[in-house]
A and B are shown apart, each in its own frame.
Chain A
Amino acid sequence: MAQDPIIMMNHVGLIKTDHRGRMISVLKDIKLSVLSTEIHALIGPSGSGKSSILRLLNRLEEATSGDIYIEGKTIGQWQVRDLRNKIGFVFQESSLFPGTVMDNILYAPRIRGIKKSKEKSVAKEMIAMVGLEESFLDKEITRLSGGEKQRVNIARTLAAKPEIILLDEPTAALDPASTQTIEQLILNLNQEYKKTIVFVSHNMQQVKRLSHHIAVIKQGETIYQGTAEDFIEQHGEDMSFL
């Protein structure tokens, strides 16, 4: 029997108002089906609406049409907090809070009232999960490299213990070495910790390396769902036709 998707989007649309008050159709017809414990990529050109899909899944915005299901329940049936505890969102690195690595990692545990005595052990566990030394915990965020920041960013989301992790262009601003580290980390989170991962990328090579399934997004519409290999076989690796 086929597995039920953990995330499903049916004909989802999103209309936003820009700063001049004009209506813009950001998403027109998004279809998405993500299976539990898989890595799923959203790929497409800049401005195609990939990041908006992640924002809808974390309920940072409301879809204007269509249905979104998480574990079979519509997104409206979830308490917002429960949904966000289940689905973690790794934003781009500029979302890190000022302060130390430890302050960032412990943000979610502190909101949930973690005991002071347990803080250190949780922070150590999280920093180890992203492959950084314990000595990083006391470092100021401003002193980290791009790759280190991104790992702290992931550790901060992991500390909230999500089952599903959304990553918005996780390697966009990174050099090749850091990109490789983050890609390995994504694979580890999936294989070792059984996290379901949805990530946004515009790099077909990366998508092929990491994902089980992909959705190709063009101008707010899903134009392909399947494996990266099948897509490449049909269209080649050149994404310029999008």
Chain B
Amino acid sequence: MNYMESITTGQVLLALVLVCIALYLSFYFKVNLEKDILVATIRAFLQLMLIGYLLTFIFNLKSPIYTTVMIFFMAGIATYHAGKRGEAVQGSYWISGIAIYGTTIITIGILSGFGIIPYEPQMIIPVAGMVIGNVMNAASLALMRMHDELKDKQNQIEAALSLGASPRQAANPAIQKAIQISMIPVIDRAKIVGIVSLPGGMSGMILAGASPLAAVRFQVIIMYMLLGSPFLTVGIAVALGYRQYFTKFMQLKL
């Protein structure tokens, strides 16, 4: 039995020593974060235990239908959060929904369809979790940024419209900026991976006993997936999002 399988409840509880340090420091510096730390500690424990039991249940079912339901549920939660954060954009919930569900279906479709990752719950659910978590941030960042850009560049956009530009042409600088800003962290992360940071998935595989090279091969797949999928989400989100800012008479509405 490897180490991962042998972790006991006692060991988990002992790790609370680190939380106690955080609590002490919060008290010492009087930053008043003790309650938040306690809530976060308990929530993290409960949420992870819950997902642990849920995943065990789904893994044991070995049913593609339940696997799909689980992925769709995760995408639903991500849609809610991305939509809420991007609320300044009219229709942010359905826009985030189309972007996140669309990206998840296409990404998982490519990975499973090409046989890169088998459509088995213990493989595809964690991978889908990574995709969805990643694109959720990208979608909300892109929507918020686009909103700010359209607001800041109102004069230029209206000047472009008055010069005969279509809404798409007039909004293009704002769309480009939103895509750039939301994709730069994704691209930067891919650039420094393995040099500055070891990705969580790869670290987890090594901890679980996989050889570093096997872990790396898997991680490369994951990195390419995490590089491509946010672009898809951001593309869908801004393509749908900018339209919310124009009337049918090509007027900017903010």
Binding site for B on A (CB under 8 A): 58-62, 80-81, 84-85, 88-89, 91-92, 94-97, 107-108, 111-112, 156-157, 160
Contact = CB atoms under 8 A, between A and B. Distances in A.
Contact of B162 (A60, A92, A96, A97): A60
A18 B169 CA distance: 27
Contacts of B247: 62
A24 to B, nearest CB: 15
B162 A62 contact: no
Given A84-B163, A111-B164, A59 B158 contact: no
Given A60-B251, A80-B250, A111-B169, A85 B155 contact: no
B161 A107 contact: no
Nearest to B251: A60
Interface of B: 155-156, 158-165, 169, 173, 247, 249-252
Contacts, number: 58
B163 A107 contact: yes
A61 B169 CA distance: 19
Contacts of A62: 247, 249, 251
Nearest to B247: A62
B171 to A, nearest CB: 13
Contacts of B155: 91-92, 94-95
Given A60-B251, A80-B249, A111-B169, A89 B159 contact: yes
Contact of B164 (A85, A91, A97): A85
Given A62-B251, A111-B169, A95 B164 contact: no
B250 A88 contact: no
Nearest to A91: B159
